[in-house]
Amino acid sequence: MSTLRFKAIEETFNRRSLNIEEEGRRSSIFGSNVFNESVMKQYLTKEAYSNVMDAIKTGAKINRTIADHISAGMKEWAINKGVTHYTHWFQPLTGATAEKHDAFFETIGEGLAIEKFGGGSLVQQEPDASSFPNGGIRNTFEARGYTAWDPTSPAFIWGTTLCIPTVFVSYTGEALDYKTPLLRALQAVDQAATDVAKYFDKNVTKVNATLGWEQEYFLIDSALAATRPDIQLAGRTLLGHSPAKGQQLDDHYFGSIPSRVLAYMRDLEIECMRLGIPVKTRHNEVAPNQFELAPIFEEANLAVDHNSLIMDVMNKVAERHHFVVLMHEKPFAGINGSGKHNNWSLGTDTGVNLLSPGKTPMKNLQFLTFFINTIKAVYENEELLRASIASASNDHRLGANEAPPAIISVFIGSQLTAVLDELEKVTSGKLSPQEKTDLKLNVVGKIPEILLDNTDRNRTSPFAFTGNKFEFRAVGSTANCANPMTVLNAIMAKQLKEFKVEVDKLIKSKKMKKDDAIFNVLREYIKQSKKIRFEGDGYGEAWEKEAAKRGLSNNRTTPEALKAQISKKAVQLYGDLGVMNKIEIEARHEIELEEYTMRVQIEGRVLGDIARNHVIPTAIRYQNILIKNVTGLKSIYGEDYQKHAKEQLDLIERVSTHIAVINSKVNAMIDARKVANKLDDLQQKAESYCNEVKPHFDEIRYHCDKLELLVDNELWPLTKYRELLFTR
């Protein structure tokens, strides 16, 4: 194995950057492989085009006759671009995308064939998909799953395949994917936000949730990754001693991008341009060999699809450059992990960002309305938000001495805190003309000015306001954005519906003017949600104690956090909004508990294998060399040999101690796993893996890492951190 390690390092040193040639301006190829509006105008009849646009904008249904016209145009466009197959592209509850390819091909007898793609094939398919997680929704005898076209996300071409974004539902109609609940939540927040936005502009007829994600990731040479069973099977390193130099000098962050990486990024960006993914930003992140890319924000459903797609594309492009992409939240101990910051806002069909202040007091009151309601929504549902980002891999970031913490809080900056403090003093009931004028001129009116220099951004906060949007920073790098976006938009929809009821009640029963009623409700919301606002350092014992005083939850682990998903509060929230029914909620909870358990189980098996089949045999080989050396010294010096072999004897003893502890701890871990595996209750099983099995990982790792420092470098089989992180 050590030979394999050195061959891999040599191979890495011999790599050369691929020459990536640009195809003219990127704007000229943007969306060239997407069946977008401009393409539809060319390939569809006016009636078909109009029907699709109505479906996108209003959710109108597409009848079968029109679907046949659309599929014919889509097929013609795709075939003209060299496409041979089509697939319904969906997002099952595995965290990855799924597809089953069918050819544009059908025999017609007499040895002849045609290219065929009808409206039925476009609108709905039955890919079977019986082996996907279903949380007990489907019995084996009725395990069919159906995919249905989502016209709000345009079809695209990857390679020689036409990919049609779809939802995935069971035979009995329950959602089996991430997209379906998201679409329902987006519809709910659209309706609720539109009703509130009409207080300020009667012309608003639709509100879109927008999302701009930031994807962090590590790039490791494929030859080096191949020498690490833990990277191959778990997506992260389960052992490995920290190198002398890590990220402490901050010399990688925003530094010059390595040439091989830059070639990869350029290649990836060109593919993104063709797929209509508006990638704009690229840079080195804090940790060695860690990078980030980010697009321009888009409508939330499309942004989620684009992020799911780009994670797949990143891996495929990486193969051409002999890289492996690590998206695990914590692939290396001792250096920063990776997140996927979700920048969220709401925008009207009149072109207004509802979380951005305007030039008039009325626009700023509109901003405050949506701003304060967001804070209130987070306060009321902080445990559900925490559950939306829970996973075995993200647990390594949240609450593990790395920002952000597992405690959900909102950061808004000192300037906006001062504004809310002023609004908290608003008189109850009707406002006097003088108070209203003072509010509009000196508080509300000055919001744009104080936000011009809003650089006071707390990088440790899990949920921060950043000038014209909220940044949900606690989302993990492997996550499907649909999960947190479903929760965030659902809780916002519920909050805005309640806000409108309260304002209308004051207008009707108390005869208040609209502005007075809004100010009164917002004042109470500021008071009620004050505990969720936190401006200090977002992690550490001091904040944990303060959060406990405030009554905020601190669900450090996934099994703890996921309980909020099936609470009465969550079931009622989703049910009232039509986002998910109780069966769908419980199924998702079961699936996520199972996934957590299986991931920890896999890591335990891999760690035990590496410890016993790689580390211990290597340590024994080194120990035998030392013993041979001591034996040789004894033959030369006789009884006086101990004076000359003191260090060797000490090494032999230390190696023996570490071997014994590793073997003992691996046995203890296996025993704990056997106990956990006998549990039938999924919650208890997940908790057992979390609390009884997982703690052995760090103990085993500690002694393996100590041996890495003791054993001859020439013998050590596993590529070391210094090689994984600094070989470019």
Same domain, 702 and 656: yes
Most confident of 23-27, 141-145, 682-686, 722-726: 682-686
Same domain, 389 and 520: yes
- The DSSP output letter for 567 is S
The H or E element that residue 122 is part of is helix 119-123
Same domain, 602 and 567: no
Same domain, 166 and 302: no
Give 433-460 pLDDT, tens digit per residue. Answer: 888 888 877 788 777 766 655 544 566 7
In a domain, 678, yes or no: yes
Give 474-486 pLDDT, tens digit per residue. Answer: 999 999 999 999 9
Same domain, 151 and 233: no
Lowest-pLDDT choice from 66-70, 514-518, 703-707: 66-70
Give 598-625 pLDDT, tens digit per residue. Answer: 999 999 999 999 999 999 999 999 999 9
In a domain, 683, yes or no: yes
Most confident of 17-31, 339-353, 400-414: 339-353
Same domain, 379 and 513: yes
Same domain, 443 and 552: yes
Q: Which of 645, 641, 656, 642 is nearest to 703 (CA)?
A: 656
Q: Which SS3 state, helix, strand or coil, does residue 164 take?
A: strand
Q: Can you read off the two tokens belonging to residue 444?
A: 């509300």
Most confident of 21-25, 108-112, 438-442, 581-585: 581-585
In a domain, 677, yes or no: yes
In a domain, 350, yes or no: yes
Q: What is the pLDDT of residue 455?
A: 44
Same domain, 392 and 439: yes
Q: Which among 144, 174, 204 is the end of a domain? A: 174
Q: Which among 151, 174, 197 is the end of a domain? A: 174
Chain-centre distance of CA 234, in angstroms?
Answer: 17
In a domain, 303, yes or no: yes
Lowest-pLDDT choice from 68-72, 140-144, 256-260, 311-315: 140-144
Q: Which SS3 state, helix, strand or coil, does residue 167 take?
A: strand
Same domain, 210 and 269: yes
Q: What is the pLDDT of residue 553?
A: 95
Same domain, 109 and 224: no
CB 340 within 8 A of CB 213: yes
Q: What is the pLDDT of residue 3?
A: 84
Q: Which among 150, 174, 198 is the end of a domain? A: 174
Q: What is the pLDDT of residue 527?
A: 96
- The DSSP output letter for 327 is -
Instruction: Identify the CATH number of the domain in which residue 155 sits.
Output: 3.10.20.70
DSSP assignment string, 17-30: -------S-HHHHT
Q: What is the pLDDT of residue 456?
A: 47
CB 317 within 8 A of CB 323: no
CB 512 within 8 A of CB 501: no
Same domain, 312 and 354: yes
Q: What is the pLDDT of residue 253?
A: 72
Residue 214 bridge partners (DSSP) = 341
The H or E element that residue 419 is part of is helix 414-423
Higher-pLDDT residue of 433 and 570 is 570
Q: What is the pLDDT of residue 362?
A: 86
Q: What is the pLDDT of residue 538?
A: 65
CA distances from 184 to 220, 388, 486, 490, 676 (A): 39, 16, 8, 9, 37
Q: What percentage of the chain exceeds 70 in pLDDT?
A: 93
Give 198-219 pLDDT, tens digit per residue. Answer: 999 999 999 999 999 999 999 9
What pTM does this model have? 0.93
In a domain, 21, yes or no: no
Same domain, 677 and 573: no
CB 332 within 8 A of CB 721: yes
Instruction: Identify the CATH number of the domain in which residue 497 sits.
Output: 3.30.590.10
Give 122-144 pLDDT, tens digit per residue. Answer: 877 665 555 556 666 654 444 56
Instruction: Identify the CATH number of the domain in which residue 721 sits.
Output: 1.20.120.1560
Tell me the C-alpha distance between 148 and 166, whole Å: 5
Q: Can you read off the two tokens belonging to residue 78?
A: 């795709």
Q: What is the pLDDT of residue 317?
A: 97
Q: How many domains does the chain have?
A: 3
Neighbours of 22 (CB within 10 A): 11
Q: What is the pLDDT of residue 400?
A: 64
Q: What is the pLDDT of residue 583?
A: 93
Q: What is the pLDDT of residue 679?
A: 97
Lowest-pLDDT choice from 28-37, 350-359, 432-441, 677-686: 432-441
State the amino acid at position 673 in one-letter form.
R
Residue 360 burial by Cβ neighbours in a 10 Å radius (0-12, 13-18, 19+): middle
In a domain, 663, yes or no: yes
CB 423 within 8 A of CB 519: yes
Q: What is the pLDDT of residue 60?
A: 81
- Residue 642 structural domain: 595-725
Q: What confidence tier does 255 reach under pLDDT thresholds 50, 70, 90?
A: confident
Chain-centre distance of CA 307, in angstroms?
Answer: 9
Tell me the C-alpha distance between 690 and 696, whole Å: 10
Lowest-pLDDT choice from 18-27, 35-44, 367-376, 382-391: 18-27
Mean pLDDT of 155-180: 90
Q: With a cut of 70, say whether residue 338 has pLDDT above it.
A: yes
In a domain, 250, yes or no: yes
> If you average pLDDT over every residue of the chain, what do you get?
90
Q: What is the pLDDT of residue 141?
A: 40
Mean pLDDT of 644-649: 90
Give the residue carrying structure tokens 């549990």: 679
Q: With a cut of 80, say whether residue 110 has pLDDT above it.
A: no
Tell me the C-alpha distance between 92 and 707, whole Å: 42
